[in-house]
Amino acid sequence: MKGLHRVIAVVSALIALSAGAARGMESISPEAGVSIKANILSHNQADDIITASGDVFILWQDMTLMAMSADYNRKTQIITATGNVVLIKDGDIVRGSRLVFETITGRGELEDSSLFIRSGNIRMANNKRSKSAATDASAPPESYSIHVTGKKLLRSDANHYAAEEATYTTCDDENPFWKFGARQLDLTVDEYGTGKHAIFYVKNVPVFYFPYILFPGKRERQSGFLYPMLGWSKSKGFETDFSYYWAISPSQDATFDLDVQTKRGVGVGADYRYFRSRDSTGRAGGFLIYDQKTHSFRGALSQSHSEVFSPDMNLRSSVNITSDRNFLSDYGEKSGDYNRQSNDSTVDFLKTWQQYALTADMRYTQDYYAITNRNTLQTLPEIGLAGVREQLFSTPLYFDLDSRASNFYRETGLRGQRAYAFPRLTLVTGLPGYVNVSAYSGVHLRAYATGNIPSASPVHGSDGSLLPESGVRVSSSFSRVYDLDAENLKKVRHELTPEVAYTYAMKQDQSRFPLYDYSDRIPYQDIIYYSITNLLGGKFQMGETSEYRDLMRLKLKQGYSITGTRRDLLTMVDSNRHLTDVMLESDTLIHPQVRLTFDARYNVYEKIISSAAPGFEFDDKRGTTVGTSYNLTHKNTEYLEAHISTKLLKPWVFNYATRYSFDRHNFLESVYAAEYRHQCWSIQAVYRDRSQVGQSFMVNFSLMGTFDMGSAQPGLLGGSGLSGMPGR
């Protein structure tokens, strides 16, 4: 950046001048704290004025002045410098043709001036907002600098400047892409700047007139209005988002949003973020609108918090509540929001010890596919204790435990309490290096207290059961290492792991228990699973550095039910056919930049693919990513997802994402995004086409250091009253 080049040039000049002084430049220190060096020095004792000419170099306090000639009045302690004047303080640079400066007060006047202020790092906000939950600005930090020019620049002290016939920009180019020209401009470093009768220029072409502007002069974040986001959609009409950013403290900030939609109404939103410490962070937000289409108030609340009390204890909460079941489909922007089937609000507590973990969870669910939420099951709360496999003394026996106590509630339908525990003993044996054998035996313990039972229901008010389960697992491993003479890949390790597992759970009538989840229906099992796993790993040599990578994992698995049933993902319980689907799982790194995944199930009876999910991922590590995945569930769903993002055509960034439904024969959603990034500005355009909602188009324009959401930098507020929006 040219701003950085200017700093380097000044530093180089200082070094050169210092070297020149060592070779014969005259120097003088009129009094403590002031040092003058030049090619020629003279002293008028009558007026007590020191005159310097030729590569003048003056130091006092923490300031440096360079010029072609200068006079220093020792009585008034005023410096008058002319010819390529440069004044440097803490990295900030002032240039001009003539300078009059008071060394005691710090006041000065500079003609034909320019001011360069080096600022800190900020974040450009390029992510779209979501009305359902606040989102973070995720773009990487960018640095910027402030440039002010003026016919005359007045410096009242170290932080206050005033300029006549001035310009302001954060572009480092000598011919900046954008700038504000003002008749009068005032700037307070680390606070704000103001301008009167300002004109916004794009490449020296006047675009807008503002009677008054307010711009940031701070090196870090600060409060202010933000630039608006403009757009149009079929469902909302023309849309403009205005927002105000509030930098509450170094660890807190908030954004307030005003969203104007011609077809829906005017919405208001807020997003509060805090960072109490590295172990305590969170945010809270909400959005409310009186929807002109439904003639009702609609909105959403969101909250998240993470509290890490110690390395083995933490608390996390996430609240996501909408006013109605269609809110996200109308106002959600991202896939996964607008097509969400349900929304959960949770509070999770975790405490761990060396062998045990205690959990306490609460979950409130909004079911968007239900007409009302009265029959939706809520878990308020559930307390669990889990024990990882622990050896009993010095025996080959190991103990583990899964247990939890749950309270289930809903307004209508069965509700009550359940206690569940599954203690298990495992015997580990075998022939080391050849065969590994583990056999386990445990019992499912359940106890119920059920209420609100319909008269015709078989469910008992108080009941319980004891259901044993046992099994055995036998596996082995065969491996071989192959030496290669490739450029980077030196060795390949191939490992085969065959495995056979048997599970038995006795048959039991469980219809008298309420059905809350899978723990209430443990299927009768008498089943054998057999599988073989292929693993490929490689040793890569890059210079003197060795690196080991997993190249491929491929697992083939099938089960045979002898007399029992089984719980499959698709068929649930199938008691008529003994063989399960053939299951294939694979993950292959065919290149450091290319990964292939494939999960599939094949029904051997109907000779069809029950499900398939192949995927492809490419990442060149330089800003270009490509990904696609195909999802098939027999007689249910079949769709394709794909995305591509590239930064190859700098300064452009292009993104495309789509989802196509083969069973519906149309695109569920397509999103096109293009962003032009410059050192001091960026513009982003997003076009979205959703089959159920229609088309929408949004434009976001950012000026570095002014209209930047993620940087927490305010925008310029002129006579037009423009501002921005939260959660971009």
Task: Report the share of the chain in percent with pLDDT over 90.
Answer: 49
Structure-block tokens of residue 124? 């450009």
281 - beta bridge partners? 275, 306
pLDDT exceeds 50 at position 194: yes
pLDDT of residue 575: 56
pLDDT exceeds 80 at position 712: no
- Over residues 309-322, mean pLDDT: 95
Distances (CA, A) of 215 to 221, 705, 716: 12, 9, 5
* In contact, 231 and 700? CB cutoff 8 Å: no
* In contact, 173 and 681? CB cutoff 8 Å: no
- DSSP-assigned letters across all residues of 645-708: EE-SSTTEEEEEEEEEETTTTEEEEEEEEEEEE-SSEEEEEEEEEETTTEEEEEEEEEETTTS-
* In contact, 84 and 67? CB cutoff 8 Å: yes
Domain-located, residue 478: no
Angle at 403 between CA 401 and CA 406, to 5 degrees: 170
* In contact, 285 and 267? CB cutoff 8 Å: no
Q: What is the mean pLDDT of the chain?
A: 84
- Over residues 485-507, mean pLDDT: 91
Rounded Cα distance between 54 and 66, Å, is 10
Helix (H) or strand (E) holding 12: helix 2-22
pLDDT of residue 220: 58
- Over residues 13-20, mean pLDDT: 42
Number of domain units in the chain:
1
Instruction: Give the model confidence (pLDDT) of 326-347 as tens digits.
Output: 898 888 876 667 778 899 999 9
pLDDT exceeds 70 at position 715: no
| Rounded-to-5 percentages of helix, strand, coil across the chain | 5, 65, 30
Hey, what amino acid is at 356?
Y
Instruction: Give the model confidence (pLDDT) of 543-599 as tens digits.
Output: 888 888 899 999 999 999 988 776 664 554 455 688 889 999 999 998 889 999 999
Rounded Cα distance between 554 and 494, Å, is 11
* In contact, 116 and 93? CB cutoff 8 Å: yes
* In contact, 718 and 208? CB cutoff 8 Å: yes
pLDDT exceeds 80 at position 258: yes
Domain that holds residue 88: 1-96
Question: 88-102, 406-420, 446-460, 706-720: lowest mean pLDDT where?
Answer: 706-720
- Over residues 282-295, mean pLDDT: 94
pLDDT exceeds 90 at position 214: no
Domain-located, residue 13: yes
In three-state secondary structure terms, 67 is strand
Establish whether the linkage from the previous residue to 206 is cis, with ω within 30° of 0. no
Give pTM, 2 decimals.
0.73
Domain-located, residue 627: no
* In contact, 60 and 36? CB cutoff 8 Å: no
pLDDT band at 130 (very low <50, low <70, confident <90, very high): very low
Residue 145 phi/psi, 5-degree rounding, is -135, 160
Task: Report the share of the chain in percent with pLDDT over 70.
Answer: 86
pLDDT of residue 229: 83
Domain-located, residue 130: no
pLDDT of residue 711: 34
Question: 353-357, 460-464, 610-614, 661-665: lowest mean pLDDT where?
Answer: 661-665
Rounded Cα distance between 242 and 237, Å, is 16
* In contact, 372 and 365? CB cutoff 8 Å: no
pLDDT exceeds 70 at position 52: yes
Domain-located, residue 168: no
Residue 29 phi/psi, 5-degree rounding, is -120, 90
Question: 124-128, 268-272, 310-314, 382-386: lowest mean pLDDT where?
Answer: 124-128
pLDDT of residue 355: 93
Give the long-range contacts of residues 30-38, CB within 8 A, separation 24 or more: 30/72, 30/74, 31/74, 33/60, 33/61, 34/58, 34/59, 34/60, 34/72, 34/103, 35/59, 35/60, 36/70, 36/72, 38/70
pLDDT of residue 132: 35
Alpha-carbon dihedral angle through residues 641, 642, 643, 649, given to the nearest 10 degrees:
-170
pLDDT of residue 710: 32
Question: Which burial class, exposed, middle or buried, applies to 657 when counting CB atoms under 10 A from its CB (0-12, 13-18, 19+)?
Answer: middle
Nearest to 152 by CA among 138, 166, 172: 166
pLDDT of residue 29: 59
| Strand ranges inside 484-624, DSSP E | 489-505, 525-542, 545-561, 567-568, 572-573, 582-591, 594-603, 608-619
Domain-located, residue 408: no
315 - beta bridge partners? 307, 349
Domain-located, residue 648: no
pLDDT exceeds 80 at position 124: no
Distances (CA, A) of 585 to 531, 558, 653, 727: 11, 12, 35, 38
Domain-located, residue 103: no
* In contact, 663 and 691? CB cutoff 8 Å: no
